[in-house]
Amino acid sequence: MNCLDSPPETYRFAMHLLQLISNPTYFISLISLILIKSNVFTTYKHFLIWHTLHNFFFEVYSIHLVEPALHAPHTLMRTTGILSKAGVGSLVQTYMLSLGLEYNALTISEMFWFRYKVSVINYREQKHFRLLQQPAVITRFIAVFATLTCILTYNDGLRFQQEHKSRLLELYPSDTFILCDSVYLLVAFGDYTSSVFVAIWIFQSLLSILMPATFFFINMNIPQTVSETTMKLQHQLLRSLIIMATLHLVFLGIPNVMFVYAFLFGYENEGVAYIAFICVTYHGFASCLAMIIFTKPLRSYILRIFK
């Protein structure tokens, strides 16, 4: 096998076909967000622009620059995209992919945190204030910590990769592609670098599962002392947060849980793993569609464009 052999054609076709829809959607959303003039919407739209740009670049990075190939039952990723063809090693690409997911979690966390603060009157006085503040603070810390970890552990990471690959090749001597520089082998808790990233993935998976439930709990416990109009508005804003959080759970949280399970216990079905990669890659597209539907100023502006 050539180290740069492409992943299955069905996977590549699906990934590139969906871009015909996702790219115009990103473009229309970004242009609309930039051009919208609204005193009320100004701050929040900056979060949306940041989130949309990150999703677009993550999608391009995953599809064209990395283009992962999988080989069950090995918990490894063979990168076959532009970066591998240019000679960039799999460790750098995997670190960047992991950081991309982490900073995506950061954009989601900051966006939800801001939306919560403007959705709930006197939010600091609410008993669930700390419930949402702490995950936002922890996510910021993890983003910085993960970045420093990637930079400071690079040499150790290369050494660990060579050791893990040599041991795996002894067990599967016919799978010589294991030694390719484009192969990243993840041995869960096999060394301190992999331990850090598996722990981060577990935390982010739990966070994506808990977020919809948290917003639902808050929505059901809005103080009855506020006016009916205020309560109705807060319920409406929180419902949109619940829907957005649920979308991220389906397209990002569940695939991450699947990856964590594969890291810890192995896997046999490559097809399911590729579907999980598609979901992670295009979670931003699903988020962008939801953003258009549930963000009234953006939805109204786009509808005016197409009238």
The model's pLDDT over 136-155, given as tens digits with 9 standing for 90+, comes to 888 899 999 999 999 999 99
**Residue partners of 256: CB distance under 8 A and separation at least 6:** 101, 201, 204, 205, 208, 280
- pLDDT of residue 95 exceeding 90: yes
In a domain, 1, yes or no: no
Give pLDDT, residue 140: 92
- Pick the range with the lowest mean pLDDT from 102-106, 110-114, 148-152, 291-295: 110-114
Six-digit token string for 111: 């966006």
Per the model's pLDDT, the better-predicted residue between 121 and 153 turns out to be 153
Give pLDDT, residue 271: 93
CATH assignment of the domain containing 92: 1.20.1070.10
Chain CA centroid to CA 268, Å: 24
Sign of CA dihedral 237, 240, 246, 247: negative
Q: Which residue has the tokens 């150790």?
A: 156
- Strand ranges in 68-210 using DSSP code E only, listed in sequence order: 68-70, 76-79, 183-185
Give pLDDT, residue 62: 96
- Pick the range with the lowest mean pLDDT from 78-82, 129-133, 187-191: 129-133
What is the count of structural domains for the chain?
A: 1
The model's pLDDT over 46-74, given as tens digits with 9 standing for 90+, comes to 888 999 999 999 999 999 999 999 999 99
- pLDDT of residue 120 exceeding 70: no
Give pLDDT, residue 307: 76
> pLDDT exceeding 90 applies to what percent of the chain?
52
pTM of the predicted structure, to 2 decimals: 0.89
In a domain, 3, yes or no: no
Give pLDDT, residue 44: 82
Give pLDDT, residue 229: 61
- Return the number of other C-beta atoms located less than 10 Å from residue 286's C-beta: 18
In a domain, 4, yes or no: no
CB 132 within 8 A of CB 109: no
The model's pLDDT over 16-35, given as tens digits with 9 standing for 90+, comes to 999 999 999 999 999 999 99
Average pLDDT over residues 209-225: 66
- pLDDT of residue 225 exceeding 60: no
In a domain, 2, yes or no: no
- pLDDT of residue 189 exceeding 70: yes
Average pLDDT over residues 163-176: 94
Position 227 confidence tier, pLDDT thresholds 50, 70, 90: low
Average pLDDT over residues 255-283: 92
- Pick the range with the lowest mean pLDDT from 64-68, 125-129, 187-191, 274-278: 125-129
Structural domain boundaries, residue 17: 9-305
Q: What is the mean pLDDT of the chain?
A: 87
